[in-house]
Structure 1
Amino acid sequence: MLNAKTGTSTKKDAALAGKEAAQQVKEIADNMKLAFVYSGVQYDQKTLLNAISAELPGIPLIGNTSFTGVITQDGFVTGDDGFVGIMGIADPDLKVGVAGMPKEGTARETGKKVAQMALKNAGTDKAPDYFYMSAPSGEEEFYLKGITEVIGRVPMFGGTAADNTITGEWLIYTDQMVAPEGVSVAFFYTDKPFANKFTGAYRETGKAGVITKIDGYRTLQEIDGVAALDKYREWTGASAADVAGGNLLSYAITNPLGVKDRLGDLTAIRHPMNGNDDGSMAIGNNLAVGTAVVLMEATVDELISSVGKTLEELKAKMNGEIGALHLVHCGGRRAGIDARIGEVADLIKKTVGDIPFITEFTFGEYGYEDDGNNTCGGLMLSFTAFGK
């Protein structure tokens, strides 16, 4: 049987915070196979992780810094001096291989090396039943390509490290490493059910166009041969000030772009991050010329209510009793929700009942839908259920 337990702390001292949170999950330490750890950038992460490991010796840790807080049964947990949330997973029948490393060579090469390390740490050469990934913003798709090169197409979940000010202070970590660039994974081996619901939960507006020019992978220059910002303003009615520079980041939370997968099962959200002087837009994930982008929309009320709806959809996908939930909630959505984040916490607790869960706030989300490829997106929800 799978058991999970969560712990939190907002103590200012990183060592004391790690100790307090870890002590709350120690009762299941005998069969604990890993612990997810999400924290504030205010802490020295090595000090925090060492303190957790002192309370949970020999248990692999994995996670990253989270945007402004976490949510558990304790509600929305945050603090000006820092915060940490832990969820330990215990199951005598579960095997997990955890590995992480700073970027070495290309992102794809690093992903390949980490996947090989995780297989070794799991004591097998067999592909996992599903896996978790954490990475920094910028090259998530390429880390994923490297991992897939080793284990093939295996269901995934996870998210991109975040900070509180969108200034690149984010970190990924395991109990063995802390790095601003790199990737970490947890490979899960089990015969118990698993489900992931990956969605932006936005509505299509009916306005769409073809990407005709990009720079690199993430700068959208033209839609239908028109400067991207001009087309976006035409679609949304946004003013020049609304989309200038970093203003676009917050404006687009309720009006992002979407790209559909080949069968239309999933619309991966593409978050416009910055409006550039040349009329182009910096986008939070990779793009491709010749594909369509769709203008999406949602109100703040809908951003909140979609959490409950997505949890219900996840529960419906599970073939069996749920033992724990890992919820990846976009930090951009959280910023748009702002002071109403308590409503999200209350909605999660109401919907899941007494099922243990942890929610992190990320700058990118990973998951899949139906038989599609594993996908990286932004402004999305990646909700995962582990069978009991």
Structure 2
Amino acid sequence: MCAFRSRQRPSRPVVRRESLLRLRSNGRRNRRNGVMEVRTACSSAPGLAEALEEVSLQLQGFAPTVLVVAFNTVFSGEQLVSGLEARFGCIIAGCSSCKGALCVVPDASSAYASHTNATLSLFAISDPQGHYGVGQHQLDPEDVQASAKSALDMALYASGRGYESPAVIWCMLPPGQEENIIAGFQSVVGETVPILGGSSADNDVSGKWQQVSTLTAGHDHIVVLVLYPSRPLGYAFSSGYKPGPQVMTVTGCDGRQLNTLDHTPAAAVYNRLTGHTIDGFLQGGNVLAASTLHPLGRKVGAGDHYHEYLLSHPHTVTAEGAMTLFSEVSLGDELVLMEGSRDSLIHRADRVLCNALDLLEEGARPKGVLMIYCAGCMLAIETDLTLMINELRRSHPHLPIMAMYTFGEQGCFLDGKSRHGNLMISALVFSA
């Protein structure tokens, strides 16, 4: 999807050599053996020891280059990484996912072990001809972009291919500073490298989210995986919403706080246009659930036959009538009131996956799909998640699929620009 370009070799991170080797894919030991393969494994066990045992049995005989991990935050990230590294000895990158993760595990007989809310899910990539590296850095709120740069520099150095731009950057972040983190990444590789991934989630927005890598686990770490795969990738980034007729202009804001729309308190405008959906919160309160089907959208790309929108999810109403969001807006932005439904959210995962498949190079055979699905969307259709996973299984009967439920989504639109948004869905397809 993205042509490699030469870049300055990254500086060596300040870590011990044996630690650096643990951040690097082990494919070069088997460089002449095998092609790209992907498998998924998952467990709904409530205890970590049992979950680790179950996923290990499912991947028995498979030697992954990389494990991308999604887990319920009731598990200890530190203990999880220790258990996975002892069993698989490969690089690890992942984060907690709201109430678990979606995972489809096809086997040779087309029988499925699938879960809509697995406590532990693994997306295992074996790519002996590829190069991968993981990096991490604790987020410094005083210099977010420097933290992001350090994490990416470590991943690029560990990959052994840091003098070239990666095909994709996959990131797992703490919520809250995603726009600045993306800017930090782009200060290293420029704006043409696709940045995908999600913001780690917990089960109740209490701040118990976790990020994990081969070397670390924490609540405020930037974890980044750089991919130089041996075969082409396909990716798509979209939402399950359509634009409504109402367009408003941001006339007062401060980062993620939307103060006024058309010179009127934002909450009052939003309440009127949505048919009084937040009547009970105009003096203040949490409106996450009430606003899920009516986010605010910004047009970010358009062609002759399509328009793309980046979404912002209203979070709270302040005592002054402002609204806090999970992504930033700017003065003068034109916002569209978006419209969604349970039905559109159920079917959108399959549509985004199909879009990513369509964007694979001709002749490439899909081997597995790594997805991000907004936790807010998941919670809105929680009782119908079985319908969503069954549609994925019917449409793609031989594809391993894993989807993380996140509190923020990073992705690349058709205009080639990577952005942070809310209530979004992304798919990254690996091929052979």
| TM-score under structure 1 length normalisation | 0.94
Q: Does 1:350 align with 2:369?
A: no
Q: How does 1:1-388 map to 2 (within 5 A)?
A: 1-29=35-63, 32-57=64-89, 59-73=90-104, 74-78=113-117, 83-104=119-140, 105-124=142-161, 125-153=163-191, 154-215=193-254, 217-238=255-276, 239-241=278-280, 245-261=284-300, 263=302, 265-319=307-361, 320-388=364-432
Secondary structure of 1:164's counterpart equals: coil
Displacement of 1:220 in angstroms is 0.4
Q: Output the aligned Cα RMSD.
A: 1.6
Tell me if structure 2 keeps the 8 A contact 1:93–1:190.
Answer: yes
Secondary structure of 2:65's counterpart equals: strand
Partner amino acid for 1:71? L
Change (3 A) 1:101 1:23: farther
Displacement of 1:195 in angstroms is 1.7
Displacement of 1:43 in angstroms is 1.0
Q: Show the counterpart of 2:9.
A: none
Distance 1:326 1:12 in 2: 24
Displacement of 1:243 in angstroms is 5.9
Distance 1:101 1:173 in 2: 11
CA-to-aligned-CA distance 1:92-136 (integer Å, 9 cap, x gap): 111101111211452111110111111110113221111101101
Query: Once the two structures are aligned, what percentage of the paired residues are identical?
Result: 24
Change (3 A) 1:244 1:381: farther
Point out where structure 2 has 5 or more consecutive residues left out of the alignment: 1-34, 105-112
| TM-score under structure 2 length normalisation | 0.85
Tell me if structure 1 keeps the 8 A contact 2:268–2:282.
Answer: no
CA-to-aligned-CA distance 1:207-226 (integer Å, 9 cap, x gap): 011111112x1000011111
Larger Rg computed on CA atoms: 2
Tell me if structure 2 keeps the 8 A contact 1:203–1:298.
Answer: yes
Tell me if structure 2 keeps the 8 A contact 1:14–1:45.
Answer: no
Displacement of 1:249 in angstroms is 0.6
Displacement of 1:11 in angstroms is 2.7
CA-to-aligned-CA distance 1:224-265 (integer Å, 9 cap, x gap): 111000110121112421666454111111111111115474
Distance 2:334 2:404 in 1: 30
Count matched residues.
381
Tell me if structure 2 keeps the 8 A contact 1:19–1:51.
Answer: no
Tell me if structure 1 keeps the 8 A contact 2:136–2:150.
Answer: no
Distance 2:365 2:384 in 1: 31
